[in-house]
Amino acid sequence: MNAKTMRIAVFVLSFWLVSGELLEADQDVSVPEDWILVERVGPLEEVELTFALKQQNVNRMEELLKLVSDPDSQQYGKYLTLEEVAALVQPSQLTEKVVQNWLQSHGVKNCHTVVTRDFLQCVMTVQVAEALLPGSKFHRYRRDSHTLLRSTSLYSVHEDVHQHLDFVGGVHRFPPKGKEISKGWEGARQSALGYHLGVTPSVIRSRYNLTAKDVGTATNNSQAVAQFLEQYYHPADLAEFMSLFAGGFTHMSAVERVVGTQGGGKAGIEASLDVEYIMSSGANISTWVFTNPGRHETQEPFLQWMLLLSNMSAVPWVHTISYGDDEDSLSDAYMNRINNEFLKTGLRGISMLFASGDSGAGCRHLTKERNTFRPSFPASSPYVTTVGGTSFKNPFKLSYEVTDYISGGGFSNVFAMPDYQVGAVGMYLKSVQPLPPQTYFNNTGRAYPDLAALSDNYWVVTNRVPVPWVSGTSASTPVVGGILSLINDQRFLKGLPSLGFINPRLYKLKGKGLFDVTEGCHLSCLDDKVEGKGFCASPSWDPVTGWGTPNYPVLLAALMD
At residue 152, the pLDDT reads 81
Please compute the mean of the pLDDT values over residues 362-388 and round it to a whole number.
94
Phi, psi of 46, rounded to the nearest 5 degrees? -95, 145
- Alpha-carbon Rg of the chain, whole angstroms? 23
Q: What is the pLDDT of residues 414-423, one digit of tens each?
A: 999 999 999 9
Q: Catalytic pick from 322, 356, 474, 485?
A: 474
Cis check: omega of the bond before 539, within 30 degrees of 0: no
Residue 351 · residue 500 · CB < 8 Å: yes
How far apart CA 375 and CA 362 sit, in angstroms, is 7
How far apart CA 146 and CA 151 sit, in angstroms, is 17
Q: What is the pLDDT of residues 276-305, one digit of tens each?
A: 999 999 999 999 999 865 555 556 677 788
User: Active-site residue 274, yes or no?
Assistant: yes
How far apart CA 38 and CA 141 sit, in angstroms, is 5
Q: Which residues contact 406 (CB under 8 A, 6 or more apart)?
A: 4, 183, 358, 359, 360, 389, 455, 471, 472, 473, 522, 523
CA atoms within 13 A on the CB side of 34: 11
User: Active-site residue 222, yes or no?
Assistant: no
Instruction: Point out which residues pair with 365 in neighbouring strands.
Output: 371
Could you tell me whether strands 318-321 and 351-355 are parallel, antiparallel, or unpaired per DSSP bridges? parallel
Q: What is the pLDDT of residues 393-415, one digit of tens each?
A: 987 778 899 999 999 999 999 99
Phi, psi of 142, rounded to the nearest 5 degrees? -130, 140
Please, which pLDDT band fits residue 179 given cuts at 50, 70 and 90? very low
Q: What is the pLDDT of residues 92-127, one digit of tens each?
A: 999 999 999 999 999 999 999 999 999 999 999 999
How far apart CA 362 and CA 324 sit, in angstroms, is 12
Closest-CA residue to 352 (of 6, 59, 69):
69
pLDDT at 261 over 90: no
Closest-CA residue to 549 (of 470, 451, 462, 476):
451
At residue 13, the pLDDT reads 32
AA letter at 116: T
Residue 125 · residue 46 · CB < 8 Å: yes
Percent of the chain clearing pLDDT 70 (strictly above):
87
User: Active-site residue 341, yes or no?
Assistant: no
Please, which pLDDT band fits residue 11 given cuts at 50, 70 and 90? very low
Cis check: omega of the bond before 91, within 30 degrees of 0: no
At residue 82, the pLDDT reads 95
How far apart CA 99 and CA 96 sit, in angstroms, is 5
How far apart CA 308 and CA 50 sit, in angstroms, is 13
At residue 177, the pLDDT reads 53
Q: Catalytic pick from 48, 274, 300, 489?
A: 274
pLDDT at 2 over 50: no
How far apart CA 323 and CA 317 sit, in angstroms, is 19
Report DSSP state, residue 328. G
Q: What is the mean pLDDT of the chain?
A: 86
How far apart CA 58 and CA 447 sit, in angstroms, is 22
pLDDT at 265 over 80: no
Closest-CA residue to 379 (of 369, 370, 371, 388):
388
Percent of the chain clearing pLDDT 90 (strictly above):
65
